[in-house]
Amino acid sequence: MALDGKVLVVTGGGRGIGRETALYCASKGASIVVVDPGVGTDGSGQNSAPAEQTAQDIMAAGGKAHANFASVTDTAGANSMVEDALTQFGRIDGVINAAGFLRDGWWHKMSRQQWDEIIDAHLNGAYNVCKAATPHFREQESGSFVLFTSPSAVYGNRGQSNYSAAKHGVIGLTQSIAIDMGHFKVRANCIAPTAWTRLIEQTVGITGAGDDVVNKMKTDLGADKIAPLAAYLVSDAAQEISGYVLEARGDKVSFFDLPRPVATLEHEGGWTIEALADELGPAIHSHGGIGLGHQP
- Residues with catalytic annotation? 163
Contact 247, 150 (CB under 8 A): no
Which amino acid, one-letter code, is at 149?
A: T
Q: Does the CA dihedral 188-17-69-89 come out positive or negative?
A: negative
From the centroid of its chain, how far is CA 187? Answer: 15
CB count within 10 Å of CB 232 equals 18
Contacts of 232 (CB under 8 A, 6+ apart): 2, 238
Rounded Cα gap, residues 186 and 136, in angstroms: 10
Q: What angle do CA 271, 274, 275 make, to 5 degrees?
A: 45
